Chain A
Amino acid sequence: MTNIFSKLYNNKKEELFFERDMSPDKSRKLKTNIGENLRIVNEYLSDCDDVITRNFYMGQGGKHQMSLIFIDGMVKLDTVQNDVLKPLMLFTRQFPLEYSVGEKFFNMVKEGLLTAGDIKEVDNFGELILGILSGDTILLMDKLDKALIISTRGWEKRGVQEPSTEAVIRGPRDGFTETYRTNVALVRRRLKDPNLKVKTIKLGRHTRTDVGIMYIKGVAKPSIVDEVLKRLNTVDISTVLESGYIEQMIEGDWLSPFPQLRRTERPDVVAASLIEGNVAILCDNTPFALIAPTTFLSLFQSPEDYYERWYIVSMIRILRFIAGFFAFTFPALYIAMTTFHPGMLPTDLVLSIAAAREGVPFSAVVESLIMVIALEVLREAGVRLPGPIGQTIGIVGGLVVGEAAVRAGIVSPIMVIVVAVNAISSFAIPNYSVAIGFRLLTFILMALAGVAGLYGIMLGLLGLTIHLVTLKSFGAHYLSPFVSFRFSESKDTLIRGPLPSLEIRPGYTRPQDFDRINDRRHDTIDKAGDESADQQ
């Protein structure tokens, strides 16, 4: 018996050891013998049928072996054939004899022969294998202890499409895609600034996902950049499939219901926040970028806020905050008002509420709970179902919740209104993560209101305020600029002042370069006006 156990145990240990040994290591250098090198590569990539190895011979007489290794489907075959294989196979034959093999030949191939764009030299298996897995093509040569990584990445990918979660009426229609480089390029196209820096690291032991941080040197505060890098480097995780993994690993307070990084699908949002001194974290395989540090206010902003004129935007922003408030307090207020403080409401309204609630067997708390939970279930069902069925759910849900429940006397019509206002309000919050956080708070506040009425709500709100006031996102106050208030920053908070008046960048990132807009309109416009008047 013990024998079996020890066997099992040993087996497991061996397996683990084996696995660890198999992960390619940078310290394992390439050999001079190509056969040996190919054997090691095959060892690493055994049972990977998508890896293609193409052997051919070069030089006059074709004596020396060369090998191309790449993964089918992750490379652009065009590039491999026209820019790599073709020159190698056709032109090496015409080399003079002294070039037949060795350092000189290697440099000739590297610098004079291959017409592919990006070529890197590599001397170890770690980078080599990673190159293959990332979609590059590897060129191994006989008698050389180094290889070339030729960038031939190209796979089937989704094109740049309109972001579905952050639609705008006015503003650019392009959104991030699942490809890291495309996303970086989308941002770069908006900021043609040499100070826009991109640092890429690889995260995830298995996924080896490209994760890049972008910032503008001279605008972003170096300590924030360092903090982001530091936190990213502490991430030790096996898989990074979406930027959500990174978000959860690097956020400061994971007990908080509020997101401490802003996520966005829009390159213009990333560009705008980079200019305000934020750091953006882009992640391969996901269209969602993260922005740090973030503030409570920024989660209530939409990119359109800066594209439209300021009156409209200011009104919409105020509406959003009212909606935000109702999104988590409305059912609680209903409970408090009807159960504890009916005297507060106008008499007619109290009477009509009482009349409507006459047949309802449950207390206001239970009634609200039933309705809010029903609504959450409907929402969840609607999200998951495919389009055509989703509509059915909408109709069924609307009928069941709205009409039948009232007719059956389970809930009162007023309750339906309350829940509807609550739901619609939460959809008016531009950021989905915050909206979800608010829905969670709805339940807590409902419980508090059920216990102690308006006082319970106040307890909840004060507790929430304490939490928000002490919350920090990468060193920036979450509630800034209301914490350590400065008047100059108040123009872009609850309302948005006219664009020319937003002369400085927000202070929460403590950007090094405060200037945002210099209002020079008066110089130019006045002059131009005078001149044209003179001419007439």
Chain B
Amino acid sequence: MLTNNDLITVPQAVALIIMTVLEVGLLSLPREVATYAESDGWILVIIAWLLAFICSLVLSTLIRRFPGETFIEYSQKVIGKFLSFAIGVVLIIYFTLATAIIIRTFAEVTNAFMLPNTPREFIIIAQMLLTIYLIRHGIEPTARIAEILFPLLIVPIFAMYMIALPKADFTELLPVFNTPIKSMAVGSLYTMLNFFGLEILLILGPYLKRPDKIYWTMFVSVGVIALIFLFIVIITFSVLGVQPAKQFIWPGMTIIRMITAPGRVFERLDALAMALWTIASFTASNSMYLAGALTCFHLTKAREFKFFITILFPWVYFLASLPPNFVATEELRHIVRLGSVSVGIAVPIIVLLLSIIMKKKGETA
């Protein structure tokens, strides 16, 4: 059923997952963890890491259990045709909504920091056209792009935060374990939502070149993401302080606006940071869009999936221009994230448990 050339290698899969997940947390994560746990925010990240790791274990086990089969195919065996179709439709809506939100947020941030006078529609459409141009080339090129852009994104981000390091005051992190258990628990659950994006593996599973290494792939990607999050939270807290970190919408951006490149080559780095943000948002929307188109493809059992990329364009554009303003966008983003709980955690767990109970397995497993 699948063409053999269009497979994702292990490093590509790692890069793809990291780039997809990273986009969301990069700017707003410090604010969220500060809101829930004040200076204990970094502990939330670690707990969320463990939770996300468990979630990734579930996904990996599913992929190992049904190698080479699409989610729609094996969920049909486990929960029946009708339910699987319904979940498929939900998945499509979820993935397209996620794409729309990523692109819309990007357009909002760009409007706020870089191009105040450029119409939002222009940015949305330009970004979507770029995405479509890429994913029409196929699955493996999409992963290849993530692999290539990964160092181009990570290295400058580290460099920028490193420049801010002399301003850091690590006593800001100090009252440790000061947060009540309850808000800690709620907070870590919310923090875990920052790992949303892992569920693309549900769709991309059959396209992995080495499904036997899926555990390793997942372990590395979740680990790297968590370390980057931890790094960002610690630097933000110690540079900005916990209280200001709560107040800014994008504390990450605030830090970058504070610093000046050494030697004063650039007086302000926010435009440069926005350029990086373009990369992050681009790769994240790529994989979400791709997952959406692939779900359509699996659901309809069509001959070619590229057709769906074009079909989804107006739909995604409609979703992206749905929220009237920035607040509504953030609310919708929150809903999508909550949706990721059902799609990324609940559905895989149910399918996995049922398949274990019913002793259903893939043919080659």
Contact = CB atoms under 8 A, between A and B. Distances in A.
Contact of A452 (B118, B141, B279): B118
A453 B12 CA distance: 31
B224 to A, nearest CB: 16
Given A462-B279, A479-B148, A483-B144, A344 B134 contact: no
A458 interface: yes
Contact of A343 (B115, B268, B282): B268
A455 interface: yes
Given A452-B122, A458-B279, A459-B126, A465 B145 contact: yes
Given A344-B267, A345-B266, A462-B282, A482 B148 contact: yes
Given A452-B118, A455-B115, A458-B279, A343 B133 contact: no
A466 interface: yes
A485 B11 contact: yes
Contacts of A389: none
Contacts of B123: 452, 455
Contact of A459 (B9, B130, B141, B269): B130
Given A453-B114, A465-B148, A469-B148, A343 B271 contact: yes
A455 B124 CA distance: 12
A341 interface: yes
A223 B114 CA distance: 49
A346 interface: yes
Contacts of B268: 343-344
Contacts of B148: 465, 469, 479, 482-483
Contacts, number: 85
Interface string B111-134: 000110010001100100010011
What size tier do the contact residues of chain A reach? Answer: 20 to 34
Contacts of B118: 452, 455
B32 interface: no
B182 interface: no
B27 interface: no
A352 to B, nearest CB: 14
Nearest to A467: B133
B267 A343 contact: yes
A469 to B, nearest CB: 5
A340 B268 CA distance: 13
A453 B264 contact: no
A113 to B, nearest CB: 61
B34 to A, nearest CB: 27
A500 interface: no
Interface in B7-39: 9, 11-12
B115 A463 contact: no
B173 interface: no
Contacts of A469: 141, 144-145, 148
Interface in B247-290: 264-272, 274-275, 278-279, 282
A125 to B, nearest CB: 48
A365 to B, nearest CB: 15
Nearest to A350: B267
A252 to B, nearest CB: 14
A520 B121 CA distance: 63
A340 B115 contact: yes
B340 interface: no
Nearest to B263: A346
A485 B147 contact: yes
Nearest to A336: B271
Indicate the member of A457, A462, A482 with the most B CB atoms within 10 Å.
Answer: A462
A261 B114 CA distance: 40
Contacts of A518: none
A452 B279 CA distance: 16
Given A344-B267, A453-B115, A466 B130 contact: yes
A207 interface: no
Nearest to B118: A452
B213 interface: no
A470 interface: yes
Contacts of B275: 454-455, 457-458
B75 interface: no
Interface string A322-361: 0000000000000000001101111100000000000000
Nearest to B275: A458
A470 B139 CA distance: 11
A487 to B, nearest CB: 11
Across the A-B interface, the 3 shortest Cβ-Cβ residue pairs: A458-B278, A341-B271, A466-B134
Interface of B: 9, 11-12, 110, 114-115, 118, 122-123, 126, 130, 133-134, 137, 141, 144-145, 147-149, 264-272, 274-275, 278-279, 282
Interface of A: 340-341, 343-347, 452-455, 457-459, 462-463, 465-466, 469-470, 479, 482-485
14 contacts: A340-B114, A341-B114, A344-B272, A346-B267, A454-B272, A455-B275, A457-B275, A462-B282, A463-B133, A466-B133, A466-B137, A483-B148, A484-B12, A484-B144
Given A465-B148, A484-B9, 11 more contacts: A340-B271, A341-B114, A344-B271, A452-B115, A462-B279, A466-B137, A466-B141, A469-B144, A483-B147, A484-B12, A484-B147
